[in-house]
């Protein structure tokens, strides 16, 4: 059973591969992109059901990518989970102000990330 299409915007290859394995095993079709500067174009071209977005990316931050997505009519409601090693309150607050759907810190629980993503696409 396919759960949906998730796009990972993550520049750390080990995390990308771990998420690709975890999410693939859970039934997701997974695509990945590693550059913040071209992430919005990749998301528009890939048309995912949900995006997992790192906060710290080369080219543009996850917050910049999120703001650009929220400014476009076709992605204003796209579910976005921010996944970051920077779990300080101010990072979470900035992500929430920018319109993030869900916020998780690294390291993450495999069970929690799959459950949250499933809930995000069913909402």
How confident is the model over 88-97, as pLDDT tens digits? 889 899 999 9
Give tens-digit pLDDT for 97-108: 999 999 999 888
Q: Considering only 1-5, 17-21, 52-56, 62-66, which range has the smallest mean pLDDT?
A: 1-5
- Bridge partner residues of 84 (DSSP): 105
**CATH tag for 4-116 (out of 1.20.210.10, 3.40.50.2300, 3.40.190.80, 3.40.50.300):** 3.40.50.2300
User: Measured between alpha carbons, how far is 49 from 30 in angstroms, rounded to an integer?
Assistant: 10
pLDDT at 121 over 60: yes
Give tens-digit pLDDT for 63-93: 999 999 999 999 999 999 999 887 788 989 9
Residue-wise burial string across 71-90, b where 16 or more C-beta atoms lie within 10 A, e elsewhere:
eeeebeebbbbbbbebeeee
Give tens-digit pLDDT for 28-59: 999 999 999 999 999 999 999 999 999 999 99
User: Measured between alpha carbons, how far is 86 from 8 in angstroms, rounded to an integer?
Assistant: 17
Sorted by where each begins, the domain ranges of the chain are 4-116
The stretch 17-25 carries a mean pLDDT of 97
pLDDT at 1 over 60: no
What pLDDT is recorded for position 85? 85
């Amino acid at each position: 059973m396919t759960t949906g299409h998730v796009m990972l915007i993550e520049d750390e290859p080990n995390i990308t591969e771990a998420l690709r394995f975890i999410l693939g095993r859970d039934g997701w079709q997974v695509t990945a992109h590693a550059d913040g500067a071209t992430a919005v174009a990749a998301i528009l071209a890939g048309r995912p059901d949900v995006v997992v977005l790192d906060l710290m990316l080369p080219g543009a931050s996850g917050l910049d990518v999120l703001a650009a997505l929220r400014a476009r009519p076709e992605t204003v409601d796209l579910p976005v989970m921010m996944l970051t090693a920077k779990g300080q309150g101010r990072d979470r607050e900035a992500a929430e102000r920018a319109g993030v759907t869900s916020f998780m810190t690294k390291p993450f629980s495999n069970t929690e990330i799959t459950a949250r993503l499933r809930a995000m696409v069913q909402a």
